[in-house]
């Protein structure tokens, strides 16, 4: 289990837990990032915001992209699939 920003570009990860405040958590949930969701890391460099793509159904599906600030992304624990 690693924080989201530690996953490399183009990796597919599954969200294990989100430890942010309640407001941030809800916001992430409604954008499709919730425990159990799978994401593809599009861009993640150093301590900067991370871009992920939601790939819940099939990694071949292109879907919406979400930017997550570094601080918040560090609170999202994921496992690499």
Partner 1 sequence: MDECNFCFSINNDVLSNLRLNERKVKICVAGNPNVGKSVIFNELTGGRAWVGNWPGVTVEKKVGKLNIDSRDIEVVDLPGVYSLTAYSIDELIARNFIIKEKPDLVIDIINASNLERNLYLTISLLELGAKVIVVLNMMDLAENLGYKIDHKKLSELLGVPVIPTIAIKGVGINELKHTIYSVVKGKSEIKGLNIYYGDEVEKAIKEIVNLIHSSSELEIDYPLRWFALKLLENDDEIVKEAKSLSIGNRILELVSDLRSKLRSKLGKDVEDYIIEKRYELISKIVSEVLTVAKPVKVTYTDIIDSILLHRGLGMPIALSALYLMFRFAFEVSTPLIDIIDWFFGDFLYNYIYNSSLPNLLKSILADAIVTGIGSILVFIPVIAFFFVALAILEDIGYMARVAYLVDKIMHKFGLTGRSIIPLIIGFGCNIPGVIATRTIIDENDRKSTALVAPLISCSARLPVYLVIAGALFTAYQGTVVLSLYVMSIVTTLLVALFMRKILFKGISTGFIMELPEYTCPLLSSILIKTWERTKRFLFKAGTVIFLGIVALWILSVTGPTGYLGTEVFEDPSLLENSWIGIIGHGLSYIFSPMRWGWRASAALLFGFVAKEIVVGSLALLFGVGEEGLETVISSQFTPLTAYAYMAFVLIYVPCIATLAAIRGELGLKYAVLTVIYEVILAYLVALLITGFGYLIGLR
Work out the angle at residue 17's Cα, subtended by the Cα atoms of residues 76 and 44, and round it to the nearest 5 degrees: 25
CA nearest neighbour of 38 among 63, 21, 68: 63
Give me the 12-41 binding string for partner 1, x by CB under 8 A, dash otherwise: --------xx-xx-xxxxxxx-xxxx----
Q: Which is nearer to partner 1, 1 or 30 (CB)?
A: 30
- Shortest distance, position 2 Cβ to partner 1, whole Å: 18
The backbone region for 43, taken as left when phi is positive above 0, alpha when psi lies in -120 to 50, beta otherwise, is beta
User: What residue ranges bind partner 1 (CB under 8 A)?
Assistant: 20-21, 23-24, 26-32, 34-37, 43, 45, 47-49, 51, 54, 56-58, 60-72
């Amino acid at each position: 289990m690693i924080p989201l920003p530690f996953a490399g570009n183009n990796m597919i990860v599954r969200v294990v837990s989100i430890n942010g405040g309640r407001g941030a958590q809800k916001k992430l949930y409604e954008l499709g990032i919730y425990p159990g969701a799978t994401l593809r890391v599009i861009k993640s460099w150093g301590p900067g915001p991370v871009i992920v793509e939601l790939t819940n159904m099939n990694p071949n599906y292109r879907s919406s992209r979400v930017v997550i600030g570094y601080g918040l992304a560090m609170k999202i624990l994921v496992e690499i699939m």
